[in-house]
Every structure is written in C-alpha cells, then in structure tokens.
Chains A and B, each alone.
Chain A
C-alpha cells in the first residue's frame, strides 16, 4: 500500500516503449503553444470568438500531438498521449460551466453578503435591508434533523445489504424499493409528509419536523446507494483477515470495513445532504414560510434558505433589486453551508480512515 506507482510515469517508462525513441519533455507544451498561436491567427483572420478559438486549438492540438507521437514514438504511446489530451480537455470543458455557475453566484450574492444578512431576520422589513438569520437557522435545524434520521438508517441499511443480506428475499426487496425511492419527485415527498401529519394531528400542520420527514424520504435512498457502493468495493481480503484473527463480524464491520471506505461514505452523505438542502417545493408544503426566528422544529412555521431565496426571486416587490440581491445572497450562503459540511465530512472521515498515506 505504498504509493500507487503513478507519480512519475515518464521516468519509469519501460524499455519496450523507448525502443522507437521518445518526444522530448517540452514537446507537448511546445505543440500546444504553437497551435494556440496559429489558431489565434486563424481566429483573428476569420473574426471568430474566444470560445471557437479555444475549441479549435484543442482539436488541432489533439491531432498534432497524436500524429507527432505516432511518427516518433509508435501507436501505443500515441494513443496514451491522445487520451491524456482528451481527458484533460474534457476536464477543462466540464469546468467551464461549473466555474461559470460558481462565479455567477458569488458575484451576484456578494452585494448583500454583509453582517446584517447574518444577524437580522425579515420580521418587520419592507423593501431594502433585512437578513436571513431566521432562514439560515431553519435550514440548519431541518436539514440537521433530516440527516440525523436518514444517515443512521441509510448506512445501517447499506451495511445490511452488503454484509448481512447476501441476496436474501428481504435484501432484494430493500434494494428494489430503495431504487424506487430515488424516483420520488420532491414535491410528492412533501405532500406525503404533509398528508401523514395531517392524518395524525389534523389539518394545517406546519412545523420543521414535518419538513425533516419529507427530506428524510428524499435522502435515504441516496445515502443507501452511495454507501452500498462504497462498502462493496472494500476488498474481501480485509474481512477475511479480520475473521481469521477471530474478530467478530460486527467489530470487523465497524473497525475494518467502514474505516477503510470512510471517505467514500462521507462523500455520499455530503452528496445526499447537498441534494436535499436546496429543496424548495417540499419545504414550502410542509414547513411554510415565516418572517421571524423560530428555533422549535415541533411548533409552527420556519423559514428555510431555499424557500426564502426562491420567493425573494419569484415574487419580488418594488423596487426589485433588494429582493433579488437577497435571493442571490441566500443561495450563496446555502452553498457556503454545504461547503462547510463538506469540510467537516472530510475531517471526520480522515479521522476514522486508516493511517496509511
């Protein structure tokens, strides 16, 4: 388990491949620079934009690299270089929209990213000013409750499926229905939770816990599926080794299997939380919207960031700008919350995972 043997492929190139000679180390960069310059000329001549220039550069660079390498180094190395270009290119291409989204949110949300936004609620606010403290607290409370319910259930279910179920009828039924659950439209989950509590407590129920139940229904299948996937890839050799040492199964799972894949499980849970923390429709149906702070998830309405953000955007007052600014800042705060969660998940998983690297 020391190193992956990937760090320096260039220096460890086996003799078999070197027979036909190899490109100097500066070659890829050189070709890229040359292509970029030539294509800049072409783009300037035809008057096309930056996007087209980047696209043409990438395509021509891929072709040029492949051809050069094919001539100098042979087909296999050429394919390797081509794939490197494609993978890197795809990565850069995929990053463009993602960075654009991030940039949009940060640029638009920056306007109201001030102290007032974090210390004030919307109670008694008309037009400008106000903040989203109440919504931030509501989101933390409701998502926290949902996570507290769905993570144990989800992870335990995944453990059952992978470690105990061994294709029994029950485990197949669970697998089947977990798959079904991933297809629940979020508003339906909200309506379900609302109907359930209406049945229990009478009409007009609106409190944080109902929303947490709706989010739990949405979260569980994601937790189960990602955890299941991560448990499956733990090598059986590790389990066998533990069993052979006389370690009981449950301790094997807790001390060997889960720590081995803790990072993956944490990622899955973060994804699940991220998926539900931005839900709007189910929360509006179940929790409603409030203008002031409410810290009790078992009594009366609460504001949440996505609902707050959506309705600031969808039904702005006059003038529009303060409402839209609040909407963007709320979205930015939502992202920051998930970012912090992500850091926490990583720290926790690092704490649990085996100390190998």
Chain B
C-alpha cells in the first residue's frame, strides 16, 4: 500500500491489448490533439490581433503598451491574490466540514448547496457585490482606516460607496470558494479509508487523522482546485466591472475609491466603444492575462509535481 510499491507497477502489470484498445487510445489521443489545434487557432488569432498594438507608434498609443497594461496587471494580481488568500483556507475548512465533520445526511445537502453556488452567474455576484456588500463594507472601511490606518493596505480615505478593491477581493473569494470547495471535497472523500482507519486505530484524534491522512492525500487536489479558482478570479470580468471604482492608480490601498483596474474588467468596460488601435491594445492586454495565467499554472504544476510523493495515488 505504500507509494514506493505503486511506482514499480507500471512495468509489472501489462494490460492485454486489443483492437478496441487501439480505437479507444486513438480517440483519446485524437481529443488531445484536437485541443492543441483549437488552442493554436486561438493563439494565432490573439497574436495577429495583438501585433498592431505592440508595434503601434507613440502617437497613437501614448505611453506605449507597457504603461497601459502595467497598472492593470497589478490590479488583476492584487484582486486575485486577495481572493485566493481569503478563499483557500475557508474552502478547505468547508470541504473538511462537509467530508469529515458534518453528519452524512447533512453533508450531502451541503455539498449540493456548494455546487449550486458555483453556478451563480457572475452578473449576480456583481449585483450582489455592488448593491449589498459594498454599502455594508463602508462602516468596516471607516473603522479600518481610523484604527489601522498605519498599515498601507488601509490608508484610506475610505470610499463612501464601498466600491473598493477589498470588496472586489471578497466577492471574488465568494465566487471561487465553491469551486475550490467542490474539488477539495471530492478529493477528501477519496482518501483511502484504510489510511484514515489506520490513523484512528493508532489513537489519533480526528484532527490528527486529518492532518496525517487526509490533507497529505488531498494536497494536490487542493492546489488544483485553488488554481481553477485563481483562473476564474484572474479572468473574472462582469463582477469586477460592475463593482470596482477604477482610477488606474497603482496602490495597495484597498479601501479608497481609487483602485487599479483588472485586465478582464478593463476589456469589458472599454471594448464596446473601442475601435481602431484600441481594439488591438485590448486584445494585447488579453494576451498578457493569458501569460499570467500560464505562469501561475506552471507554478502550481511545479508545486504539485514536487509534492507528488505525498499525493497517494499514482
């Protein structure tokens, strides 16, 4: 049952091969190649459309592409990081609660609700954030800037409408919480019961069992879920556009009304009225988002690979 034994299996057990096998393997491979083709299409479309923005003369694009996209990259990362920092621990806790703490009957209902929340369209989160959460956040922002104003994050002056980066981060956290929870829950439920029973039999408390058996097994799942969530947080368009009061400032101040925009929201805000070179610039900023997501995912893959020895199954 140990992971070292599992590693040697690939040579040990060779499956029987048949015609059906070749067809199945072929179609699986074909599907993979189809994805590559689609992506090549998207990538070349992006590159062709973004190219004029890169080569645009100074006169058409004041300050150049970097000056335009820079604050947006900052805002995108800031919002997504807040969301991830808030949502991941909460999501793991919720997933653990559903998988290991709640009574079984209750847990089925709960996981159902969580799945349902992953399905709430982003417009709804946008409306909720702008009309419900933003006004509620105003007293908190005022308190933060009065009492913790020496922390740059809460320097203020606090926004009077609450459409701040803090609220956006929290809304994004609420949006990605169900995604991370859903993936983490599925992985936690798959923890081999032998591992769990072994831990309990050795006299571990429930928390010790979770720490020793469930979390190591689920680590790669948590990271995958977090990355799926992060992907959504980075690319979230409508909710951010509807809530955030954008000024293009590069600041860590989370509670004022001057906030950096995000790439995806900026595309949504500017695209409808854009024409000419602006369209190319917006698509180029989309390309940048692409690259950011890619880097983040590569990092996640790297972490998962490094931890593979702990991850139980393969």
Contacts and interface: CB of A to CB of B under 8 A. Distances in A.
B21 A183 contact: no
Interface residues of B, number: 116
Contacts of B220: 229, 232
A183 B234 contact: yes
A82 to B, nearest CB: 8
Given A248-B21, A249-B15, A250-B25, A93 B124 contact: no
B41 A90 contact: no
A339 B292 CA distance: 32
Interface in B32-52: 32-36, 38-39, 41-43, 45-46, 49
B90 interface: yes
Contact of B268 (A17, A281, A309): A281
B60 to A, nearest CB: 21
Interface stretch (B63-71, B92-100, B253-261): B92-100
B93 A105 contact: no
Interface string A252-274: 11100000010110011011011
Contacts, number: 336
Interface stretch (A28-36, A217-225, A292-300): A217-225
Nearest to B112: A342
Given A217-B38, A313-B123, A87 B208 contact: no
A344 interface: no
A188 interface: yes
Contact of A5 (B16, B200, B286): B200
Contacts of A244: 13
Interface stretch (A113-121, A128-136, A161-169): A161-169
B119 A277 contact: yes
Contacts of A338: 116, 119
Given A87-B93, A94-B90, A16 B203 contact: yes
B270 to A, nearest CB: 11
Interface of A: 1, 3-7, 9, 12, 14, 16-17, 76-77, 79-80, 83-84, 86-88, 90-91, 93-95, 97-98, 100-102, 104-105, 152-154, 156-157, 159-166, 170-171, 173-189, 191-192, 195-196, 216-217, 220, 222, 224-226, 229-230, 232-236, 239-240, 242-244, 246-254, 261, 263-264, 267-268, 270-271, 273-275, 277-278, 280-281, 306, 309-310, 313, 331, 334-335, 338-339, 341-342, 346
